[in-house]
Structure 1
């Protein structure tokens, strides 16, 4: 492995069917005022909301709520959460939901006591936190983002057509997260499979970078093989606990910073996908799946050795008697077939993107330089055109 790095992850995880039993013990470390944040109300239908309120009441907590956190949390919703957090003098933000709710909670945690506009400070200027941070705990109901064990927080500004993620330091990581795979069983198939691809994309963004013999790449390949195996089971049997538990654990390790160590990392699929999301408000994982194949075929010649390795080690392509180009392409063909089998969105038009939007999406794309090809604005536009 090349380079120097510091690794720390302070988040405590409780995993399994009985993981919620640990919430009471965690709550004892915080003050009386809890801000409960959640999404569209599915937690009220499955009984989780009542279970959590019962625990909070037993612990003598004063609870305020911010509900209706959308899949792509907006800057307006962020301001609403900041107001609620300050008025309630919040001691702990408890996020119950998927990655968007966890992202939102972290954004509120750093923004509530920010003396400037948090959108300007954290999302446009990308500055570090220098004010009071409200602790966050998470109870996960959807997998994909890894937000339960990282410092990422993505916010959308529809007025400026920007969707931006800020990866904060470990002082913003959730203090604890509750991971019960059963809570993911009732998720609609579209959201479930979008989350599956978000996991895969996270791993690939880190894998497709660097040329050294890197331990992180071996870990990534193992995560990918486990993910492919378990997701094939889960799409046919969504309540298969073994498959869903494996997927939940893979999602956490895909983006808790472990496999980024010693890597430059790419992230251009996410940058393009987030720009698509800013224009369409489409489900995040599907914006990634819609542009991935065009992107990877475009950069493959620049990272041919890694793409060949990907084909052989992940997709089990037999390389004998074949050129590196042929092996790499066969790997991408198998990946594309797998994606179609999951029912993922494979082109931008399915998300409502039109030809007229493409220049704007290209302009809204942020550029990262850690992958095998530093793209130009014109190349991003070409990839978008290939994806539509």
Structure 2
């Protein structure tokens, strides 16, 4: 394990069926003015909204609301949320929903006291906040992104066809606390559940497929991946299986709370490709990742054969007898493909609404990362996207 690193994660987690009681512990730490942030209204149908409002009122909070946060939060929605938080003189932003709602709350947090355009500052120039940020808490209702325990915030600009994530450097931008009750995710449609399962898995892959040294992080990643595969299969057949869904929720948090990235480089090109597809199609995030993953991994496999071989053996139990390293590595990707199809994931970007005419634009909007086994050029990105169409 090479290199130097710092690790700090200040988010306090409350996990399990009684996790929401943690709000009674956390809310007294903040001022009276709370902005409650949520999505399309499902939390009102399933009763979570009423539970949260009651706890807020019991704790004497003055509540304003930002509703209608979409699965791919837009920059225009961000501007509106910033104005709401300013008018309310918010002391705490409480996100109740999935990763997009948590991401959105963090984007509002870093923007409320900033005089500059947050899109230009954070998503074009990738600067860090120079202003006071607002504390964020999350009540998680959807599993996948890991946003409940990291400092990332993804925002979409539909005017420029860009979907960009900024992982902020300061740990104070991470949620101060997160409520994780697996029961809250049981009402999700199968499509969203499957997308979330693959989002978890790919977060681990993005950190795994890089580097060549013997690294503790990779061993942790292999265990997490095996857990996601196993629990994903159970949840796919029985979505109401609490044990499987709780394991997925816990794995999602650890997949992207920065632990398994320590001491190594990371890739993130699948996310760059998928996010650019999402900017053009507004498709579900986990499905955009699924649709571009295999073409990308097959493209870079020759440059990282040993890691792909290890992936095949230790994650997928591929038999190595009488096979070359490349054959073993390819069998690993084939096993991954079978599992993805078993879950019912979207396997091409055409299903998501992408067309051949969009390819150049999607490629142009794809940020190029340099931490993986191959730094792509524009033509390679175009080729991978064309492969992803079919």
How many angstroms apart in 2 are the aligned matches of 1:160 and 1:353? 16
Aligned pair 1:239/2:240, yes or no?
yes
Matched with 2:259 is 258
Matched with 1:68 is 68
How many angstroms apart in 2 are the aligned matches of 1:299 and 1:240? 36
How many angstroms apart in 2 are the aligned matches of 1:308 and 1:60? 57
Deviation at 1:22, TM superposition (A): 1.2
C-alpha deviations, 1:263-302, integer Å up to 9, x for none?
Answer: 1100000000000000010000000000000000000000
How many angstroms apart in 2 are the aligned matches of 1:80 and 1:24? 29
How many angstroms apart in 2 are the aligned matches of 1:148 and 1:370? 25
Map 1:29-68 onto structure 2 (within 5 A). 29-68=29-68
C-alpha deviations, 1:124-164, integer Å up to 9, x for none?
Answer: 00001110101000000001110000000000000011000
Matched with 2:370 is 369
How many angstroms apart in 1 are the aligned matches of 2:356 and 2:57? 53
Map 1:214-229 onto structure 2 (within 5 A). 214-229=215-230
Matched with 2:153 is 153
How many angstroms apart in 2 are the aligned matches of 1:186 and 1:254? 23
Aligned pair 1:326/2:320, yes or no?
no
How many angstroms apart in 1 are the aligned matches of 2:326 and 2:302? 8
Aligned residue pairs total: 388
Where 2:304 maps in the other structure, the secondary structure is: helix
How many angstroms apart in 1 are the aligned matches of 2:327 and 2:134? 52
Matched with 2:177 is 176
Gap regions ≥5 residues in structure 2? none
Matched with 2:163 is 163
Q: TM-score, normalised by structure 1?
A: 1.00
Gap regions ≥5 residues in structure 1? none
Matched with 1:113 is 113
Deviation at 1:185, TM superposition (A): 0.1
Map 1:1-388 onto structure 2 (within 5 A). 1-168=1-168, 169-388=170-389
How many angstroms apart in 1 are the aligned matches of 2:363 and 2:48? 41
How many angstroms apart in 1 are the aligned matches of 2:227 and 2:52? 32
Deviation at 1:25, TM superposition (A): 1.2
How many angstroms apart in 1 are the aligned matches of 2:72 and 2:349? 18
How many angstroms apart in 1 are the aligned matches of 2:25 and 2:308? 46
Where 1:164 maps in the other structure, the secondary structure is: strand
Where 2:201 maps in the other structure, the secondary structure is: helix
C-alpha deviations, 1:292-329, integer Å up to 9, x for none?
Answer: 00000000000000000000000000111100011011
Deviation at 1:236, TM superposition (A): 1.0
Deviation at 1:363, TM superposition (A): 0.3
How many angstroms apart in 2 are the aligned matches of 1:285 and 1:60? 38
Structure 1 consecutive aligned stretches of length 4 or more whose deviation exceeds 6 Å: none
How many angstroms apart in 1 are the aligned matches of 2:349 and 2:50? 39
How many angstroms apart in 1 are the aligned matches of 2:90 and 2:132? 12
How many angstroms apart in 1 are the aligned matches of 2:56 and 2:11? 21
C-alpha deviations, 1:223-282, integer Å up to 9, x for none?
Answer: 000000001000111111110000000000000000000111000000000000000100
Where 1:156 maps in the other structure, the secondary structure is: strand
Deviation at 1:99, TM superposition (A): 0.1
CA root-mean-square deviation: 0.4
